[in-house]
A and B are shown apart, each in its own frame.
Chain A
């Protein structure tokens, strides 16, 4: 075995630059605020005074009986359930179309014009989320919006002055639609890169064996992409639990009957308009726990599938 190296300048500087500095930053910017938020969540701090009276777990027990907060939690969980499935489903389908969905004669390739589709479907992701939200808020406007304009022009008179974001039936769906529109391009590009990493010979061999495009997508691409999909799922799941920008731009007041209110919005109002930072921190802690639980569940599921295969 090689002799252990002494802590020379080279090694020490490496440690400092690549380990200690990032760790110090992480501690100050991430761990310390976490600890602070947990501490504040045990106080009734208003946020604007130096006094932080300790109240124990009162904030948490109040949250359990707070119908508005529980509704926000339900809405956030609903987003967590639906947003990733819809976004990733569409992104996967599009990615398959522009990579292997092309003509069945000749080499495996995407549909005609796939380079063009690839670029335009990425466009929405380039626009800042807040702009996407504001643009769609105009599209959904009951009286002057593009959507109702088109619908009433083709004869769907029931949509005259229909408030997409103001009706309980449609507000959440309309919000999810905007988030999907804004995110699909990014995941599509992610999946395209992963599909291009698959050995072309595998795809061509499958085709020679008579596999259709759907079969190729299901039996070859999907298993190859499971790693990417899982990573994407975690990423978009965490995004769905946040989702502040889109919901705030579309319905800053929580939507009809609070049907689009999410936890992060409730944290914001509680902290800044109700001046109750203690409770807002408690909500933040709850959100963090939900996020950890979500990631933990995904990991468990992965372990279970691995064990099942073995």
Chain B
């Protein structure tokens, strides 16, 4: 090649080779641009000043509850705010789909961050608006939203004083069973772990298992253990666990529950093979085949297993029981929290629209429509009639939360610090009978200690 040729070649290569990547680098640096968006006039009926004829971009997790409830609220919103339209995007891959949008600085106006592929909530805390103004606003019927909600529904998402998200769907955690089966066998609902073990023996006599589990959901038993320990030992236990205290898994209340569970495992009360069974298949062994009698889960279970529940199953729940009859909290205390966290990202183009959509969802009309369609309650009180729209599970939820009153509690440290995947492994081994209570305790403590000692992880103080 002649000199000229080579130089021309190099120059050309340099231009192509260098400009393309820098172009991309520049594009990815433009993420700092401020998104203000047009705002309309703030008024009593338009508390956040959403602009007329604006579009609201909502990304909604398409899981057990679908996305139609947000579309429905969007229709209501279209009627109350001039020409505002809501564009709902359904997603089951929230983290992977939203990651580039957050980095590029054009996140949606409203995000329902849920499902297996959700963004770790803690990654969003700094990037979302404080939603206190939404709960302080009045709903479409004119009542302050804060007053229409069940007690304590905002605790989980209040992080160091900031309301980072609003969980929309009321979720009660407990143990679920078939009321018709219990009636047929003449069993009564256990109120302590000692009674659960007795029930295990009775079930075994009938060739039934007491419990069962699926490999992706072994940690439902962790939630059950935590709930039972809190009822047994009171709020001190909740605070110790939530603040990742040293030796928190060795507290007497926690150990009493874990020991009872270990006895159930050793006595063969668990349906074998759970560590290799897909979790909905395992749940069908309970709700369809009735091979085991109790299943710990959240109240989404009825909706999740709708297609795979035996006729006249009469799915009913009761709160996680304490270890003994002399527990600190009454046996009616229930783990009540809310699921489906809705975030309004700070950099969203139409934040006012996102908040207005959330306000609409929290109003009576949309919340009642949700309860009726999904057979589950939102965090808005009084949207479920006596007959629970014909659902025994929904009726038992209302009963549980009313019976608990001020003794409802919740905890979030498991999801907050991302313990899920690591704990799951431990619980699969424990429930399969491969590790002892002492093993389990030590390994859970190791995980907890590691997070507590890691200064790069922002802690949320539990009170």
**Could you tell me which A residues sit within 8 Å of B by CB distance?**
4, 6-7, 15, 20, 23-24, 27-28, 32, 44, 46-50, 68, 137, 140-144, 161-168, 251-254, 256-258, 269, 272-275
Contacts and interface: CB of A to CB of B under 8 A. Distances in A.
Contacts of A165: 215, 275-276
A144 B273 CA distance: 11
A166 B21 contact: no
A166 B277 contact: yes
A49 B5 CA distance: 46
B263 interface: no
A306 B153 CA distance: 72
Contacts of B273: 142-143, 161-163, 166
Contacts of B391: none
Contact of B102 (A48, A137, A274): A48
Most chain B CB inside 10 Å of its own CB: which residue of A7, A162, A253: A253
Contact of B421 (A44, A140, A163, A253): A253
A23 B16 contact: yes
Contacts of B38: none
Interface stretch (B57-65, B84-92, B123-131, B308-316): B123-131
Interface stretch (B138-146, B253-261, B428-436): B428-436
A219 B2 CA distance: 52
Interface in B367-425: 418, 420-422, 424-425
B31 interface: yes
Interface residues of B, number: 54
A48 B274 contact: no
Nearest to A66: B450
Contacts of B12: 20
Given A7-B8, A48-B127, 6 more contacts: A28-B21, A137-B278, A142-B273, A168-B434, A256-B434, A273-B95
Interface stretch (B39-47, B114-122, B174-182): B114-122
A142 B277 contact: yes
A164 B275 CA distance: 9
B276 A163 contact: yes
B9 interface: yes
Contacts of B160: none
A24 B16 contact: yes
Contacts of A161: 271-273
Nearest to A140: B276
Q: Which 3 A-B pairs have the closest CB atoms?
A: A163-B276, A142-B273, A166-B275
B195 interface: no
A91 B102 CA distance: 47
Given A28-B24, A253-B215, A48 B119 contact: yes
B27 interface: no
13 contacts: A23-B17, A50-B32, A140-B276, A163-B432, A165-B275, A165-B276, A166-B277, A167-B276, A168-B434, A251-B215, A253-B215, A253-B425, A258-B425
A32 B57 CA distance: 32
Given A7-B5, A27-B17, A251-B215, A167 B275 contact: yes
Contacts of A141: 276-278, 281
Contacts of B32: 50
B96 interface: yes
Given A141-B278, A253-B425, A275-B119, A48 B103 contact: yes
Interface of B: 1-2, 4-5, 8-9, 12-13, 16-17, 20-21, 24, 31-32, 95-96, 98-99, 102-103, 105, 117-120, 122-124, 126-127, 215-216, 271-278, 281, 285, 418, 420-422, 424-425, 428-429, 432, 434, 456
B16 to A, nearest CB: 4
- Interface of A: prevailing SS: loop
A272 B123 CA distance: 10
B277 A273 contact: no
A68 B16 contact: no
B307 to A, nearest CB: 17
B9 A68 contact: no
B65 to A, nearest CB: 21
Contact of A256 (B17, B98, B275): B275
B13 A254 contact: no
B120 A275 contact: yes
Nearest to A277: B99
A257 B434 CA distance: 10
A166 B416 CA distance: 27
Nearest to B431: A166
A7 B117 CA distance: 54
Most buried by B among A142, A167, A168, A254: A142
Given A28-B21, A253-B424, A257-B425, A274 B103 contact: no
Contacts of A163: 272-277, 432
Contact of A253 (B5, B21, B98, B216): B216
A101 B366 CA distance: 72
Nearest to A53: B456
A20 B11 CA distance: 11
Nearest to A278: B456
B277 A252 contact: no
A62 to B, nearest CB: 9
A68 to B, nearest CB: 7
Given A23-B16, A28-B20, A274 B99 contact: no
A254 B218 CA distance: 13
A276 B56 CA distance: 30
Nearest to B96: A272
A4 B103 CA distance: 51
A253 B432 CA distance: 16
A121 B38 CA distance: 62
A270 B422 CA distance: 12
Contacts of A7: 2, 4-5, 8
A20 B274 contact: no
Nearest to B102: A48
Contacts of A256: 275, 425, 428-429, 432, 434
B123 A144 contact: no
Candidate in B13, B118, B215, B278 with the most chain A CB atoms within 10 angstroms: B215
Nearest to B272: A161
Contact of A68 (B17, B215, B422): B422
Given A166-B428, A166-B432, A256-B428, A47 B276 contact: no
A144 B118 CA distance: 31
A166 B105 contact: no
A20 B103 CA distance: 31
B126 A49 contact: yes
Given A49-B127, A166-B428, A23 B277 contact: no
A266 B431 CA distance: 24
A151 to B, nearest CB: 13
Contact of B16 (A20, A257, A272): A20
